[in-house]
Amino acid sequence: MSREGAEYALRARADERDRISGDLLDLESHTTYQLLKGSNLRGATQQRWVAAQAALATLWGLYDAYRSVLRDAEQIRAGRGRLGADELAELTALLAGRSVVLKAAAKPVEQRSLLPEADERLTMDETVTRMDAAFREVTATLTDIDAAWNACLPRLDDADAQLRAIHDLQVELGESLDLTQVETDLKRLRGGAIEDPLGSPPSAAELDRIARLLSGSRTDLERALQVKREYGRRREDLVAALDRVRAAESEARLAHGQVVAKIALPPQASPRSRAEDLAGRLDALDLSADTWLNRSSRLTALEGDTAQALQQAQATARALYGLVSRRDELRGRLDATQAMAVRRGRAEDRAAVQAYEQARVLLWSAPCDLTRAADAVDLYQRAIHGGGR
């Protein structure tokens, strides 16, 4: 090397040493590295971590040998203001030659021989390349473990938070759910995630199942607590809703009484009352010694059934009155078709007259058979239109 080349190489190696030192310090202060140092690992993760630790030990050994050579080079340069030929030759040998000595590792006695083990000599560039390979092996292990933890630990933390919230709700409600199996499963999954994230991570399906179960349990408790707080008001609302059901069912019975005299109805068209059955369920709920968890579902179901009964009674009344409207509409169609027959000069047609009379008798009979009457009106229209519509 020239004097300028040696000066440049020495400065470059010093910068390289400082950068490598910073990277090594960052590695050992990495959160995942610190967690792994104190963890009881097993399985695939333990195997990867043992290999990573070996790579890290090799890395530090290489770094110490590299730094020792560089320290010798810096001492030579600091000894004189201007490098002489001898100093330049020494610097060149250190910076460009195979100056990094790796002592032969001690072997178990069964692997030794009586011949001395040769030390390995590397250039500084070769040493940096080996350090980089070891560094990458360690960081790859940390990256894989960190990714596995990030995939499951937040979800496990969420599940634990749900459990704490459920516990608080149970205390407030004064009732509890049996979540022993869930707690056991969570403990097992967290153990696998911490001790062997690469080999025994919780599956997404297991985490989904627990999340659904905890979410459902929390919802049940919140609903039960809400029912406990609001039972008096919701009971009053139910009593009022039952009164509306009775009124709507009374209207449906009135409609049936009026319509059955005019329109032929099947037996199943008679309105059925649900109000008393619903009222009986409310009384049973009042007298129940059941838990609020069960009472909340019963109350919610009763509220839904009451709303459905009201809609059904109202729809029944509308449908019954609609049958009379349907009869009146058919009467209007019959009259309109007869007027058309007169305009077309077909009012006296024998087939048309017979069809008209049949439809008229059906529509003005009580009770009216709507199905037969509608068919008769259609038959009359076809007769007037010459077989078409």
Residue 333, pLDDT > 80, answer: yes
pLDDT at 346: 82
pLDDT at 388: 45
Place of tokens 């059925």: 272
Q: How far is CA 92 from CA 1, 5, 6, 84, 101, in A?
A: 6, 9, 7, 12, 16
For the segment 137-168, what is each residue's pLDDT rounded down to a tens digit?
A: 999 999 999 999 999 999 999 999 999 999 99
For the segment 211-242, what is each residue's pLDDT rounded down to a tens digit?
A: 999 999 999 999 999 999 999 999 999 999 99
Compute the C-alpha angle 130/134/139, nearest 5°. Answer: 145
Q: What are phi and psi of 102, to 5 degrees?
A: -105, 115
Residue 389, pLDDT > 60, answer: no
pLDDT at 269: 85
Which pTM was predicted?
A: 0.66
Average pLDDT score over residue span 360-381: 94
Instruction: Give the type of residue at 233.
Output: R
Q: With contact defined as beta carbons under 8 Å apart, do 64 and 42 qualify?
A: no
pLDDT at 206: 95
Average pLDDT score over residue span 250-261: 94
Q: How far is CA 381 from CA 330, 340, 347, in A?
A: 11, 10, 12
| DSSP codes, 334-371 | HHHHHHHHHHHT-TT-HHHHHHHHHHHHHHTSSSB-HH
Average pLDDT score over residue span 314-342: 94
Q: How far is CA 314 from CA 66, 209, 234, 317, in A?
A: 92, 42, 23, 5
Helix (H/G/I), strand (E/B), else coil: 131:
helix
108-112, 130-134, 294-298: range with lowest mean pLDDT: 108-112
Q: What is the Cα–Cα distance from 136 to 146, expressed in whole angstroms? A: 15
For the segment 94-128, what is each residue's pLDDT rounded down to a tens digit?
A: 888 898 888 866 667 676 677 677 778 999 999 99
Average pLDDT score over residue span 52-78: 91
Instruction: Give the type of residue at 93.
Output: A
Using CB atoms within 10 Å of the CB of residue 187, give its burial: 0 to 12 exposed, 13 to 18 middle, 19+ buried: exposed
